């Protein structure tokens, strides 16, 4: 059931994204823009939806970094994607990314939990010089 996925997002917000937000907020000179959950229409079909949990912050060089886990749901499948992206004058580029696809809600909830932990562990990308080892 979809409630398993919603609960996984709620747990991830507290246990992973909240901890990441605190780490970023406590760093001197770092501004955390947004944290939250958003729901959008999906490109997978008329009855599909996209839910994303995220934290966004600014680097000292003015670039914005975003950590996110998203769930793109259609009637046939669920795509769970964890990403770290940086946006600057030259556009947006992915620093870290991992995607899983399933049709099982319980497995999707597990993927949300695992990818949230994995994405939020990538706090090193807050630093301007961290991209040399980007995935």
Q: Can you tell me the distance from the alpha carbon of 104 to that of 121, in angstroms, rounded to the nearest whole number?
A: 26
Across the beta sheet with 91-102, what order do the strands follow?
31-41, 49-58, 64-73, 78-88, 91-102
Q: If pLDDT is split at 50, 70 and 90, which confidence band does 130 have?
A: low
Q: Can you tell me the distance from the alpha carbon of 94 to that of 74, in angstroms, rounded to the nearest whole number?
A: 24
- Percentage of the chain beyond pLDDT 70 is 91
The pLDDT value given to residue 30: 61
Q: Can you tell me the distance from the alpha carbon of 65 to that of 62, in angstroms, rounded to the nearest whole number?
A: 10
Is residue 92 in a domain?
A: yes
The pLDDT value given to residue 134: 47
Q: Work out how many domains the chain is built from and give that number.
A: 1
Is residue 123 in a domain?
A: yes
Is residue 18 in a domain?
A: yes
The pLDDT value given to residue 116: 98
As a whole number, mean pLDDT of residues 10-29 equals: 86
Is residue 135 in a domain?
A: no
The pLDDT value given to residue 71: 97
Query: Over the stretch 44-84, which tens digit does the pLDDT of each residue have?
Result: 888 889 999 999 988 888 899 999 999 999 988 999 999 99
The pLDDT value given to residue 34: 78
The pLDDT value given to residue 54: 96
Range of the domain at 15: 2-128
Q: Can you tell me the distance from the alpha carbon of 94 to that of 14, in angstroms, rounded to the nearest whole number?
A: 24
Task: Tell me the sheet residues that pair with 88.
Answer: 91
User: Is the sign of the CA dihedral 117, 102, 66, 32 positive or negative?
Assistant: negative
């Amino acid at each position: 059931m979809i409630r398993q996925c919603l609960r996984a997002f709620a747990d991830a917000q507290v246990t992973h994204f909240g901890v990441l937000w605190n780490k970023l907020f406590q760093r001197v000179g770092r501004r955390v823009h947004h944290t939250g959950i958003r729901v959008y229409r999906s490109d997978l079909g008329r009855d599909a939806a996209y839910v994303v949990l995220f934290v966004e912050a600014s680097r000292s060089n003015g670039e914005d970094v975003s950590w996110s886990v998203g769930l793109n749901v259609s009637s046939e499948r669920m795509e769970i994607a964890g990403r770290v992206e940086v946006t600057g004058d030259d556009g947006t580029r992915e620093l870290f990314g991992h995607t899983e696809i399933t049709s099982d809600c319980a497995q999707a909830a597990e993927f949300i939990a695992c990818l949230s932990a994995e994405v939020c562990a990538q706090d090193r990308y807050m630093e301007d010089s961290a991209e040399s080892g980007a995935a």
